[in-house]
Structure 1
Amino acid sequence: MLRALHVAEKPSVAKKVAEHLGSLGGPTTNRSGPSPYNRLYDFETPGTPLTNNRRVRHTVTSVTGHLMASEFAEPHNKWHACAPRDLLREDVSQVEFRVADDKLPLKQQLEQEARQNDWLVLWLDCDREGEAIAYEVVDVCRKKKASLDLYRAVFSSVDKQSIQQAWRSLQRPDKRKADAVAARSELDLRAGAAFTRFQTFRIDGRYEDVQTKVVSYGPCQFPTLGFIVQRQQEIEAHAHKQFWKIDLATKIDQQHVKWSWRRKRVFDEVVASLLFERVLESPGTIERVQPKPATKVRPVPLCTLELQKRASRWLRLAPDATMEVAEKLYQNALISYPRTETEIFKPGLDLRDLIDRQRGDPRFASFCGDLLDKPANDPRSFCQPRAGKRDDEAHPPIHPTGDGSQLTDPRQKAVFELVTRHFLACCAKDGVGRQTLVDADIGGEKFEARGLIIDQRGWLDIYRWERWSGTQLPLLQEGQLFDITKVELVAGKTQPPPLLTEADLLAKMDAHGIGTDATMADHIKTVLTREYATRANQPPHVLKPTPLGRALVDAYDAMGERLNRPELRAAAEADFTSIANGKKTKAQVIAETLVTMRRCFDVVQRDVAKLDEAMRKRFGGAAGDGPAPDLNLDFAGTTCGDCGGTMQLYSRNDRPSLRCDQCETWWPLPDRQGVTIEPRSATCPLCQFQLVDIKFDPNGRKQPHCPHCYTAPPPGAHAGSTGGRMACRDCAHAGCSLATGVRGGSLAVAKCACGGDLKLRRTPAAKFVLGCTSQQCGSAAWFPSAVASARVLEDSDCPQCSAPGAPVRRLKLKLPSAKVPPGTDLNPTLCALCCRGEILHLGFDRRNLRVGGRGRGGRGRGGGRGRGGRTRGPPAPAGVDQNKRPKVAAAQPPRPAPRGPPQPLQQRGPPQPQLRR
C-alpha cells in the first residue's frame, strides 16, 4: 500500500481536502498530534493510474502560514551589534531561515509523519508565497526521510470537484518560485533593518512630538508613502486661478436642453464678458445632429487588485480587510482563490455550472435563470466573458463556487455579493442604446448637447453599483433656430486634485510595480500602522500623510538617492519575476541588489543633515528646549561642526547628550552607568565636530569620541565595543592619529578556532594586529612596525586557504622603503596565513594565532608551539584538507647570508647591512 502525507496551508483547507478525498474511499478518522491546532485526518482510497493502481493510505494535516522565519544570525540580530551598513553585506552578516519557536510542535508533527510515508503531497496556495511555504515543509520532512517523493496539488477552489481533480492530476513543485520569495524576504530584511536602524538612531529621542520608538523603513512601504505625500505636495503647491464660463439652457418643443460650452472656460474676465454679450444678443442655430449607437461594455473578469479597488469604492472596505474577508470565503468553498492576477476565463471552466449554483439565492435567481434559459439571440441570455489583459497562468479570475445565501456576517455577505454580481455581469451581454450628439452656434460660440436612449440594459440589471443614464433630446433638425431661455456668466476658480483614495493608491502601486496583488494591501496597512499616514474621516478611505511621514519623504526627496521613489522597488520586483522564470538565479539577484542598496546607504549617510533639516521643519527645534540639569557643571562646552555653535552637556532621557545652543541639535553619547565626559581640544577631521573624552570606568582609560560620528559612522568604520555607534578607535580615517580602525576592518579575514572572527585593526601605537573579536579568546598576530598601512580586500580571497563558506581574505600592505630590505615589494597583496615567504622576514609574529578550529587552548596547530618547542607551519582554515595544502617550510632561525646578493631575513626593526668577506 502506498502511503501519502498531504500538507495544506491552513487547518480549514486540510479539513476540506480530507472531506473530499475521503469521499472517494473508506471512512475518515481524525487525531491530534504534537501540534493540537493542526489535526491529522486518516483514510484510504482505491488506486489510480497515477499510483499504478496501488491502494493509498492518506494522512492529511496542515501548517499555519509560514513555517520558517528569516532573521540575522548572531550577533547581527541585535540593534547595536554592528554598523547598519554591515547588514547590507552578505560577507559580514548572514540571514538564517529557521523554524520559529512557536512552530516547533508543528515541526515535530511533520517529522513524525514524514518517516511513515512515501509521498509528500503539497496543498499549499498556488502562488509564489505558497510555493515558498511548500519548500519549507519539504526541508523539514526530507531531513527525516530523504526518499520522500514530492508532488504539488494545483487547485483554485476547495470545492469537491476541484479537490478531486487536483488529486488526479498532481504536478511537481517549482523551486524557482520559492527562490524568488526567499530572495525577496532576505533583501527586504536586510534593507529594512539597515535603514530602520539608521533612521531610528538618528531620530529616536530627539524630538518631543515623535512618540514612536522605531522609525521603520520598508522597500515597498516607502514608495507607497511617497505616493501619498506626492499627492499632498500637489495639493499644497496648487495655485488657484480665477476663470469664467457660460452656462446655457434652452427650451425646445416644451423640453429643457442643457448645453455645454465647447471652450469650457476662459481665464480673462474681459474676454469672457465680450463673449457673453455676443451670446446674449444672438439666436441659436442647430448646426449638426448626429445619431449613433451607444454601448455600455460589461466588465472583464475579476482579479485581486480590482476586487480591492471596487470593495474600497463601493463597500467602504479597506484593502486588507477585503482580503481577510475573501480568504474566509475561499476557505469555506464559497469563492475561488482570491489572490490572482488573471482576467481571462480559460475554455475548460464550466461557467454555466457556476451560474447554476447561484439559482438558490433569491438575489440572483431571476438573472441566472435568464442567462441559462433564454435563447442565444435574446439580449438577456448567456454571453462568453470578455478577456482582460492580465494572466498569471496559475489561477482563474475570482468567481463564486458555492451558495452564499446563508451568510450572516455583513462583511462576508457584502464581498460575496460583489464577487457574484461581478461574475454574473461578465457572463451577460453589453448594454445597448442610442446616442444623439447636437452641435449649435450662438453668436459665433459653439455649444453641444448629448442625449441617450437605453434599449437593452444587459449586465447593468445585476451590477447595481454601475449607472448608465441620459437625457432624451427633442427631435431636432439641422438649420433649426431656437431661443435662449437662460444664459449666465459664472465665475469660478481651479481646484487642487483630491486626496488619494485607497483605490487610487492601489492603481498607482500597480502601475509602478510596487508589491504584488497579494501584498499591496499589506503595504498600505503598514504605512498606516507606522503612523506615517492616516485615513481621513470625510470622505472615508482618503489617505493623508502625518508630519513624520512628510518629514521622511521630504528628506529623501532632497537626498541624492530618493528611496521613496518607486523605481528601485519596481526593478527589484522585475528581478524576482526573473528568478521565478528561471532567467536569473537567487544568488545573482541578491548580490546585484545589495550593491545598489549599499550605494544608496552611503549617499543617505552622507546627506543625513537633510534628514535633520526635514525633521526640524516639521517638528520645530529638537526636543528638550528646556534642558535638563547638567551632568557635569564643569563641562566647558564643545564646538558644533554644523554651525560652529557651542554644545553643552545635558541629561536627556536618562542618557548624556550634547546640545548645540545655536542650531538646537541633540547628539546622544554612550549611556553606560558611571560614565564621565570631558572636552578634548582636538577636532574630527571628517565632520569638524570637537571631540570628547569618555571614561566608562573610573580606573579605565579615556576613549575619544566624535559626537557626530558616534551616531552616524562614516563608511569603512567597523563595529567596536560600542556596537553600531562608533568610537574614534573604530574609525579608519588615515589622517587622524586617534583613528585605529582600518579600511575593511568590518570584514572578517578568517575564522578563529573559537568560532569568532579574525579582524584587522590598528593599535594606538600605529601597529597592526590581526585579532579575534571574542573577548574570551585572545588569539592574535602582530605585524611589524615596518607596515605603514594595511587594509582588508573585500573581493580578493586566498585561493589556497579559502573554502566554501569560509573565505580567507587577503591584505593590501604599504611598506616604507627605508624600513625593508632592498628589493622588497612595497605594496604587497598577501594572505596572512600562507604567504610566509613574503612576510616572515618583516617580523610577523603569529604565535598566538589560532585559525579555523584546529588550535586547542592556544597550543594547537594554529601557529603556536607544538611538542618539542618546534614552530609549526600555518594551519589550514576550516573546510580545507590539511593533506592537500601546499607544503611550506617551517620557520627557521636566520642563517648567515651566502655569497652573492643580499637575501631578506626574518628580523625585527630596521634591516642590518649584510657584509661579505
Structure 2
Amino acid sequence: MPKLVIVESPAKAKTIGKYLGRGYKVTASMGHVRDLPASQLGIDIEHGYTPKYITIKGKQKLVKELKTEAKKCDGVLLATDPDREGEAISWHLANLLGLDPAAPNRVTFDEITKKGVKEGMAHPRAIDMDLFNAQQARRELDRLVGYKLSPFLWRKVRRGLSAGRVQSVTVRLIRDRELEIERFVPEEYWNIDANLKPAGGGASFTARLSASADGKKVTVRTKEEADKILASLEGKPYSVAKVDKGKRRRAPAPPFITSTLQQDASRAFGFSATRTMRAAQTLYEGMDIEGHGTVGLITYMRTDSLRISDEAVAAAKSFIGGRWGEKYVCPTQRHWKSRSATAAQDAHEAIRPSMPELTPDEVEKSISGDTARLYRLIWSRFMASQMADCLMDTMSVTVGAGDWLFRASGYTVTFDGFTALYEEATDDTKKKETALPPLEAGQALNLHKLTADQKFTQPPPLYTEAALIHALEENGIGRPSTYAPTISTIIDRGYVEKENKKLKTTPLGQAVNQVMLEEFPDIVDPTFSAEMEKKLDVVENGQADWVQTVDEFYQGFAQSLEKAEKDMEGKKVKVADIPTDEICDKCGRPMVIKSGRYGKFVACSGFPECRNAHPLVKDTGGLCPVCGGHMLLRKSAKGRVYYGCGNYPTCNFMTWDEPVTERCPQCNSTLFKRKGQLICLKEGCGFTKDAAPKKE
C-alpha cells in the first residue's frame, strides 16, 4: 500500500508526485481545511481563549475524501508549506485524520526539485507546536480585533466596515504621510551651476556653488542673493583648486527575501505585492520546463532569511566563471545579516533559483508573462550576489572663481563586476554622478555657461506599494507574508485607493483612521504593533505561552473598547463626500462623489430628498472610432475595467483596449493599446504598430 502525502495545492502535488513515484499517493488539501467560524467569534475568552475550529464551508467533501484515502494508505505524511500557516494546516489535518502530532509525520521542502524532495522526505519530524501556537495566537489576535472592532465601526461610521490589527496601522502610515505632505512648507533655494571646460581641451562638466573662498558652506535662499553672486562672478577666471582621487567598491545587494522581492518587482514591473506572490508561488510549486519536466524553479518564497546553502553558492560561482570568466566570481564567501534577528526564519534560505544553472533564457522557452519576468529578476539578483564587486575610480574637484568655490564629483567604472548582470531598482530619481574629464590642480577652465535656478524643498512623496512595504518592514509591522493581503484588504475595503501607483486614503479611510487614533491608539501605534510581532516571535521560539500572550493584549484592548463605547455614545462620524463641478439635473444642487458597497458613484448632495445618482465614469481623452464621442473608463459588474462610448445607448461601441493620446497617422482616429501594440479600431483602417516600452 502506498503512503499518502498531503500538500496544499494541486500544482505542488503534481510536481512532488513525479519525484516520489509509485510508493506514494500525493494529494492536495487546497489550503486551510479548518478555521474559526465566520458567523461568530469562535473563541472562548473565559476558558483560556479556547478556539472553536470548524471545517471551512465547502471543504466537507474534501475532508471526507482525505479520510477515505488515509485509511487506504500505509501511513500519512503532511507536506504543507514550511511556515506558520503550513504548520497550522498540518496540525489541523493531523487532528481531522486522527494522527499523533508528536509522531514523525511532518515533512517540508525548501525547494521542489528532486534533491529538495528527497532531502525533505529523509527527515520527517513531529509537528512544531511552537510554530503552530504562534500561528494560533496570531489568528486569535486578528479575530479578536476584527470581531470586536468591526461592529463598533458599523455603529459609529458605516455598516459593512472592518478593522484589523495590521490593516489599521497600515492605513495610519499612509494617512500620516498625506498629513506630512499637507503640512509641509516649501522653502526657496537657488542652485548656481557653472558649465566648464578644460582650457587645453576636453569634455565639459558642471560644477555647483558650494562654499565661499574661506570654505564656509553657502546656501542661496533668494533671487537677490543669487543675482549678487552672479554679479560678483562676472569676468572672473575659473581654475581647478583641488582634485581628490580615490577608489570605490560597490558590493551587490543580497538575494531576495519576501519583502525585497515585492519591492523590486513593484519598482521594476509595477507589480502589486499580491501579483508578485502569486507568480512566486507558481514558480515554487512547479512548472513544466522543456528538457526538465515539471520542476519547482525557486526556493520557498516566504522567508526573512538571507542564508544561502554552500551547494547553491558553489553552483552559482561555477556558472559565473563559465559565463563571464573567473574575475567575475566573488573571491570570498559573502554573508549578510538579516534585518531583524528575532524575525529571521533561518530554517529557510533566501529566495533563489533552485537550479542556478537554469538560465532565464532557457526557462523562457517554456514560460512567459509574470512568472518569466519574476524568474529573471530572482535569478539575476541571486547570481549578482555571488559576483565580484564593481570597481570605480572616483574624482572630486573643487573649482575656484573669485570669492567662491564650486564642487563637482564623478566616477569611472574600471571593472563592472556584478553590474554586468543586474542593478537594483530604486525609487531615487536624483541625478546620478557622471564621469569627469582628466583634471589637475591649478588647471585653467573656460566658463561656457553660468546659471541660477530657483528651487523649492519638496515634501516626501506619497507611498507606492514598494515604499509602503519598506516602511512596514522598517517599523516591524506584520510579517513579509502579510504585506500582500494587508494592502489588498485596505484597497478592497475602500480605505485606500491607488492612483498612478501612489496610495492615498479615501474620505472613508480618513474617517475610520481618525476614530481609531482617538479611541484605539494602541492598535494604530506602529511601535505597539512591532512589539506584538516580537511577542509572537518569542512564542514561535518556545519562550512564551501563547494563551498568556493573547490575554495580555486582550485585557488592554477590552478596556479601550469599553471606554470608546462611552466616549462615542450617541455619536456618529460623518464621512466627507468629494465635491464635483456637476449640477444635479433634477434639483439643481451640486453632485458629489460617494463611496458605496460596490465602489464610487456620483449622487446628489441633497440625498435623501433627491435620489439622483449615476455611475462614476472617467473621460480617457480618447474618441470613439465609430461616432467620435468621448471614450469613458467604466467598470463591469465584476469590477473589470473597460472603455465605452459616452454616447451610449445611441452608440454601443465598447472595448477592453485602452485608448491612448496618440492618433492614427492614416485616419487621425484615437489609437488603442492591445498586447504591446497600438492599433486603430476605425473600420477599414487596420493601422498597427509596436507600443513604446514604459520607462520604469
Give the TM-score, by structure 1 length. 0.56
**Aligned residue type for 1:217:** A
* TM alignment of 1:795-834, pairs within 5 A: none
Residue 117 of structure 1: how far off its partner (Å): 5.2
5+ residue gaps, structure 1, are 23-27, 29-42, 44-57, 78-86, 205-212, 360-366, 621-625, 627-652, 654-663, 666-917
Assess if the C-alpha contact under 8 Å between 2:156 and 2:573 holds in 1. Answer: no
Paired residues of 1:151 and 1:170 also in contact (CA < 8 A): yes
Larger radius of gyration: 1
Q: Is the Cα contact below 8 Å between 1:552 and 1:611 reproduced in 2?
A: no
* Conserved? CA contact 1:71–1:95, under 8 Å: no
Residue in structure 2 matched with residue 109 of structure 1 by the alignment: 65
Residue 520 of structure 1 and its aligned partner are, at CA, apart by 0.8
Say whether 1:564 aligns with 2:524: yes
1:330 matches 2:293: no
Q: What is the CA–CA distance in structure 2 between the aligned matches of 1:493 and 1:542, rounded to whole Å?
A: 22
How far does residue 10 in structure 1 lie from its aligned partner after superposition?
Answer: 1.7
Q: 1:242 aligns with which of 188, 197, 208?
A: 188
Equivalent in the alignment of 1:351: 313
Q: 1:392 is matched with which residue: 335, 345, 354?
A: 345
Counterpart residue type for residue 543 of structure 2: K
- Deviation of residue 94 (structure 1)? 6.7
Q: What's 1:370 paired with?
A: 323
**SS of corresponding position for 1:518:** helix
**Matches of 1:277 and 1:611, distance apart in 2:** 65
The one-letter code sitting in structure 1 at the alignment partner of 2:313 is: L
Is residue 453–residue 470 contact of structure 1 (8 Å, CA) maintained in 2? no
Cα gap change, 1:148 to 1:515, in 2 (>3 Å): closer
Partner of 1:913: none
Q: For the residues of structure 2 that align with 1:146 and 1:272, how far apart are their CA atoms?
A: 79
Select 2:471's aligned residue among 508, 526, 532: 508
For the pair 1:319 / 2:273, whether they are aligned, the reply is yes
Distance in 2, matches of 1:454 and 1:284, equals 28
Q: Paired residue for 1:406? A: 365
CA 381–510 in structure 1, closer or farther in 2 if over 3 Å, else same: closer
**CA distance, structure 2, for counterparts of residue 129 and residue 335 of structure 1:** 19
1:435 paired with 2:394, answer yes
From 202, 205, 208, give the equivalent of 1:257: 205
Task: Give, as a single letter, the amino acid of the residue that structure 2 aligns with 1:244.
Answer: W
CA contact (8 A) 2:253 2:424 kept: no
1:303 aligns with 2:261: no
Does structure 1 conserve the Cα–Cα contact (< 8 Å) formed by 2:267 and 2:425?
no
Scaled by the length of structure 2, the TM-score of the pair is 0.73
Q: Are 2:15 and 1:67 aligned?
A: no
Query: What letter is aligned with 1:518?
Result: S
| 1:451 and 2:417 matched | no
1:789 aligned residue: none
Aligned positions of 1:131-280 closer than 5 A: 131-142=87-98, 149-204=103-158, 213-252=159-198, 253-254=200-201, 255-262=203-210, 263=217, 265-280=219-234
Any idea what SS the aligned residue of 1:149 has? coil
1:542 and 2:542 equivalent? no
Does residue 99 (structure 1) correspond to residue 62 (structure 2)? The answer is no
Instruction: Assess if the C-alpha contact under 8 Å between 1:9 and 1:63 holds in 2.
Output: yes
Map 1:775-786 onto structure 2 (within 5 A): none
- 1:501 and 1:70 map into 2 onto residues whose CA distance is 33
Identity of aligned pairs, percent? 24
Alpha-carbon spacing, 1:616–1:304, altered in 2? closer, same or farther (3 Å): closer
Contact 2:316 2:383 in 1 (8 A): no
Any conservation in 2 of the 1:120–1:150 contact (CA below 8 Å)?
A: no
User: Quick one: structure 1 residues 597 and 558, their matched pair in 2 at CA, closer, same or farther if it must change by over 3 Å?
Assistant: closer
Cα deviation for residue 618 of structure 1 reads 7.6
What do residues 130-172 of structure 1 show as CA deviations (whole Å, max 9, x unaligned)?
A: 1111101111112xx6599333223211111110121122233
Q: Are residues 203 and 420 of structure 1, via their aligned partners in 2, closer, same or farther at CA, if it must alter by over 3 Å?
A: same
Instruction: Confirm or deny: 8 A CA contact 1:88 1:194 kept in the other structure.
Output: no
Structure 2 residue aligned with 1:496: 459
Check the 8 A contact 1:368/1:424 in 2, yes or no. Answer: no
Q: Match of 1:152, SS?
A: coil
Residue 619 of structure 1 deviates from its aligned partner by 9.2
Partner of 1:280, secondary structure, is coil
Deviation at 1:394?
Answer: 1.7
What is the CA distance between 1:469 and its match in structure 2? 7.6
The 5-angstrom pairing of residues 637-716 of structure 1 reads none
Q: What is the deviation of 1:199?
A: 0.4
Select the residue among 40, 63, 84 that pairs with 1:128. Answer: 84
| CA displacement at 1:188 relative to structure 2 | 0.6
Cα distance in 2 for partners of 1:147, 1:584 equals 20
| Matched-pair contact (CA < 8 Å) for 2:248–2:392 | yes
Q: Which residue of 1 aligns with 2:4?
A: 5
- Contact 1:286 1:438 (8 Å CA) reproduced: yes
Task: Summarize the Cα distance change of 1:355–1:110 in structure 2 as closer, same or farther, 3 Å threshold.
Answer: farther
Root mean square deviation of aligned Cα: 3.3
Task: Report Cα offsets for 1:249-307 as digits up to 9, x if no partner.
Answer: 11113321210222574324443433333333533342221111122211111111110
What SS does the aligned partner of 2:540 have? helix
For residues 470 and 566 of structure 2, what CA distance do their matches in structure 1 show? Answer: 34
The alpha-carbon distance between structure 1 residues 476 and 453, as it changes in their structure 2 partners (threshold 3 A), is same
Aligned length: 555
Question: Match of 2:602?
Answer: none
Q: Which amino acid aligns with 2:229?
A: L
- Is contact 1:383–1:429 with CA below 8 Å preserved after alignment? no
1:19 correspondence with 2:15: no
Q: Distance in 1 between matches of 2:249 and 2:524?
A: 42
Partner of 2:511: 551
- SS across alignment from 2:59: helix
Out of 585, 602, 609, which is 2:545 matched to? 585
Distance 1:101 1:306 in 2: 35
Secondary structure at the aligned position of 1:161 is classed as helix
Following the alignment from structure 2 to structure 1, what is the Cα–Cα distance between the partners of residues 233 and 548? Answer: 70
Note if contact 2:264-2:424 (Cα within 8 Å) is conserved in structure 1: no
CA change 1:448–1:393 in 2 (3 A) is same
Hey, what's the Cα distance between the residues in 2 that align with 1:325 and 1:184? Answer: 26
Pair 1:470–1:617, CA change in 2 (3 A): closer
- Deviation at 1:381? 7.0
Q: Secondary structure at the match of 2:517?
A: helix
Q: Structure 2 unaligned segments of length 5 or more: list them.
A: 211-216, 287-295, 581-585, 587-595, 597-606, 609-696
CA-to-aligned-CA distance 1:390-449 (integer Å, 9 cap, x gap) = 542121111112542323431111111101111111121111121111112323322211
Cα deviation code 1:171-196 (max 9, x no counterpart) = 33211111111111111111111111
CA distance in 2, matches of 1:135, 1:587: 17
How far apart, in 2, do the equivalents of 1:92 and 1:612 lie? 35
2:292 counterpart residue number? none
Q: Is the 8 A contact 2:94 2:101 kept in 1?
A: no
Distance 1:480 1:447 in 2: 14
Equivalent pair of 1:433/1:454 in contact (CA under 8 Å): yes
Q: Give how far 1:15 is off.
A: 2.5
2:559 to 580, 599, 602: 599
Matched, 1:284 2:238: yes
Deviation of the 1:389 alpha carbon: 2.5
**Corresponding letter in the other structure for 1:556:** M
- Structure 1: distance between partners of 2:283 and 2:150: 36
Amino acid at match of 1:406: K
